[in-house]
Amino acid sequence: MSHKNLTRTLSKQLAARAAAFTLLLSSFGFGLPAAVAMPTDPNTAALEARLREGRFFEEPLVTTGPSSIEEQQALWVAIQQYRDGGAAEFFGPLQAFLDQHPDSPWNLALRTNMGLTYYRLGYFSRAIDAWEAAWRDDRAQAQPDTKRLADRAFGELIRMHARIGHAERVNALLKEVEGRPLQGAATEAVAGAREGLWLMRNQPGTAYLCGPMAIRSILQFQGADVSRLAKIEAVRSSPHGVTLDTVGKLAKQLKLPYAIAKRSPGTPIPLPAVVHWKINHYAAIVGEQNGRYHVKDATFGNDLWISKDALESETSNYFLIPKQAAKQPGWTIVAQAEARKVFGMGNTTSVDDARTRPDDAKACDCKDSATPDTDTGAGDDAAAASGIGLGMPRYNVHGMVVSLNLVDTPVSYRPPKGPAINFTLTYNQREAYQPANFSYFNFGQKWTSNWLSYIQDDPTSPGTNVRRIVGGGGSVWESGSYNASTGAFGADSKDISVLVRASDTSYERRMRDGSKEIYGQSDGATAYPRRVFLTQIVDAQGNAVTLGYDNQLRLTSITDALGRQSILSYGNASNPLLVTRITDPFGRTAQIGYDASGRLSDITDAIGMKSSFSYDAGTFINAMTTPYGTTQFAYGENGVQRWINITDPLGQTERVEYRHAAPGLFYTEGEGVPSGMNTMNEWINYRNTFYWNAKAYAESAGDYTKARITHWLHVQNNLNVTGGGIESTKEPGETRIWYAYAGQTIAPTVAGPTEQPVSKGRLLENHSTELTTFTYNPQGNVTSTVDPLGVSMQYVYADNGIDLLTATRTDSSATKLVAQYTYNNQHQPLTYQDAAAKVTTYTYNAAGQKTSETNPLGNTRRWEYDNNGFLQRIVNAAGKTETSYTYDAVGRVASETDGEGFKRQYQYDALNRLTQIQYPDGSTRVFTWDKLDISSVTDQLGRTTTYTHDSARNLIQTVDPLGHVTQYDYYRNGKVKTVRDPNGAVTAWTYTPSGRLAGQSVMSANGTVQATSYLYDIAGRLSRITQPDGSYMVPQYDRAGRLIGSADTKGKNIAYTLDAMGNRTQEQVWGPSGNITRLINRVFDSMNRPLQVSTAGFASSSGGSDGPLVQLKPVGARASASYDATTTPDKAIDGDPNTRWTSPSWPPQWIEIDLGFEVSLRAIRMMNYQYPAGEDTNVITAGVSPNPTEVLKTITMAPADKEWINVQLDKPSAPVRYVRITGTVNPGWPTWYELEFYR
Question: Residue 51, SS3?
Answer: helix
Q: Give dist(CA 1174, CA 1225) in Å, integer.
A: 10
What residue type is assigned to position 159 of the chain? R
Q: Which residues of 882-892 are buried (b: 16+ CB within 10 A; e: fewer)?
A: eebeebeebbe
Determine the Cα angle at 1150 with ends 1147 and 1155, to 5°: 165
Q: What is the pTM of this model?
A: 0.84
Residue 853: exposure state from Cβ atoms within 10 A (0-12, 13-18, ≥19): middle
Task: Say if strands 1176-1183 and 1190-1197 run parallel, antiparallel, or are unpaired.
Answer: antiparallel
pLDDT for 1108 equals 67
Round to whole Å and give the CA distance between 471 and 454. Answer: 8
Q: Identify the CA nearest to 56 among candidates 97, 98, 88.
A: 88
Query: What is the CB neighbour count within 10 angstroms for residue 137?
Result: 17
Instruction: Give the residue extent of every domain in the chain.
Output: 11-202, 209-344, 352-620, 968-1097, 1116-1238
Alpha-carbon torsion (1102, 1105, 1111, 1117), positive or negative: positive
**Omega within 30 of 0 (cis) for the link into 1172:** yes
Strands 850-854 and 839-844: antiparallel
Which stretches of the chain drop beneath a pLDDT of 70? Answer: 1-44, 86-88, 226, 347-349, 366-389, 479-480, 1087, 1096-1108
SS (H, E, C) 315-364: EEEEEEEECCHHHCCCEEECCHHHHCCCEECCCCCCECCCCCCCCCCECC
Q: How far apart are CA 166 and CA 299, in angstroms?
A: 13
DSSP code, position 488 = B
Q: Is 129 exposed, middle or buried (0-12, 13-18, 19+ CB in 10 A)?
A: middle
Q: Give the H or E element holding residue 167.
A: helix 167-176
The predicted pLDDT at position 384 comes to 36
- Architecture of the domain whose range is 11-202: Alpha Horseshoe (1.25)
Asked if 718 contacts 298 with a C-beta cutoff of 8 angstroms, the reply is yes
Calpha distance 656→396 (Å, rounded): 10
Phi and psi of 877, rounded to 5°? Answer: -65, -20
Tell me which H or E stretch contains 309: helix 308-314
Alpha-carbon distance of 1153 to 1220, in angstroms, equals 6
The pLDDT score that the predictor gives to residue 814 is: 87
Upstream peptide bond of 529 is cis (omega within 30 degrees of 0): yes
CATH topology for 209-344 is Cathepsin B; Chain A (3.90.70)
User: CA distances (Å), 1175 to each of 1167, 1204, 1227, in order?
Assistant: 15, 15, 7
For every residue of 518-539, DSSP letters joined together read EEEEE---SSSSEEEEEEEEE-
Q: Fold for domain 1116-1238? A: Jelly Rolls (2.60.120)
Angle among Cα 681, 684, 690 to the nearest 5 degrees reads: 145
How far apart, in whole angstroms, are the C-alpha atoms of residue 446 and residue 430? 7
Beta-bridged to residue 289, according to DSSP, are: 292
Beta bridge partners of 226: none
Q: How far apart are CA 1102 and CA 349, in angstroms?
A: 75
Residue type for position 1079: L
